[in-house]
Amino acid sequence: MRRVLPPVIVGIAAIVAWQLTVTLGRIAPFILPAPSEIWEQLVEQRQNVWEAALASGANALIGLIAGSIVAVLAAMVASRFRPVAEISIPFAAVVSALPIIALAPILNNMFETTSSIPRRLVAAIIVFFPVFLNTLRGLREVNPIHQELMHTYAAGGWTFATKVRLPGALPYVFTGLRQASSLAVIAAVVAEYFGGLQNGLGSRITSAAAFTAYPRAWAYVVGACLLGLVFYLTTLLLERLAMPWRSRLI
């Protein structure tokens, strides 16, 4: 309770301050609508927001799962064969610095306009890098004492990998997944700005803004925030379940 209360109070205070600033300061709604208006729109549009969130969420989730699986497998291969890691790390670092979201319009042209694949692909590509780099680091970092102990137990390569390397890498995998879970949502939503199927949060935000329905656009933004939060918290929960030995999360 003591840990939850302060951020909640700050959050409420911020919303109140926002409301007061907009109403007392007579700020035009196209600059910044009041929270009360956004809330009204959110309630009115809840069915649409929900459906759009489901569509974007499905894209983000599929991208997240596919990207993570490929990333973990790639990291395992790279850690097994040192030269592969030496080549792939700088390569991955450079590619991850590129604005992958910019691929969205190109991918959109590669598939049919009704296809969800381009957005899922963008999410998967964006997810790949943090998961790959973190997992690889985890797999390569083994406590030297653990290494020596397993050596004295005459443990073979496979035993060492499953009993020491993989469980030791889990915290790193989850660090990557935590970053990736938020990125997946961002990627799935933003990729919709560049055309393609118009059923997700991103396309709803652009169309509402195009009709100068700013409070409605904001209502969808709130939906996107909530979606990102759900992804992040789910990852935290999974982390907790997968690593009961970790007493702290961060």
Partner 1 sequence: MTAVVLDKVTKVFNRGRADEVTALAEVDLTVGDGEFVSLIGPSGCGKSTLLRLIADLIEPTTGTVRVAGKEAGRARRDQDYGIAFQQAGLFEWRTVRRNVELPLELRGMGKGERKARAEEMLALVGLAEFAGHYPAQLSGGMQQRVAIARALAVQPPLLLMDEPFGALDEMTRERLQGELLGICAQTGTSTVFVTHSISEAVFLSNRVVVMSARPGRITAAIPVDLPARDEAARQSERYFEHVTAVRQALRGVPATT
Q: Is 167 in the site for partner 1 (CB under 8 A)?
A: yes
Q: How far is the CB of 144 from partner 1 (least distance, A)?
A: 9
- Identity of the residue, 113 or 143, whose beta carbon is nearer to partner 1 in the bound complex: 143
**Taking CB under 8 A as the rule, does residue 247 contact partner 1?**
yes
Told to check if 246 binds partner 1 by CB under 8 A, we report yes
Residue 177 CA, distance from chain mean position:
8
Give the residue, chosen from 66, 84, 105, 163, that forms a contact with partner 1 under the rule CB under 8 A: 163
**Which stretch in 122-130, 134-142, 173-181, 239-247 sits in contact with partner 1 by CB under 8 A?**
239-247
Binder of partner 1 out of 5, 94, 152, 250 (CB under 8 A): 152
- Give Cα separations from 128 to 43, 46, 82, 177, 181 (angstroms): 36, 32, 20, 9, 11
Residue from 30, 91, 153, 211 touching partner 1 (CB under 8 A): that is 153
Q: Is 243 in the site for partner 1 (CB under 8 A)?
A: yes
Task: DSSP for 149-209, please give it.
Answer: HHHHTT--HHHHIIIIIHHHHHHHHHHHHHHHHHHHHHHHHHHGGGSS---SHHHHHHHHH
Q: Is 143 in the site for partner 1 (CB under 8 A)?
A: yes
170 is a contact residue toward partner 1 (CB under 8 A): yes
User: Measured between alpha carbons, how far is 136 from 89 in angstroms, rounded to an integer?
Assistant: 9
The verdict on 151 binding partner 1 (CB under 8 A) reads: yes
Question: In the range 10-39, which residues lie near partner 1 by CB under 8 A?
Answer: none
Residue 171 burial by Cβ neighbours in a 10 Å radius (0-12, 13-18, 19+): middle
Collapse the DSSP code of 32 into the 3-class scheme (helix H, G, I; strand E, B; otherwise coil) and give the result. Answer: coil
Q: Which two tokens stand for residue 200?
A: 């997700």
Token couple for 19: 């409301």
* Interacting residue ranges for partner 1, rule: CB under 8 A: 143, 145-146, 148-149, 151-155, 159, 163-164, 167-168, 170, 243-247
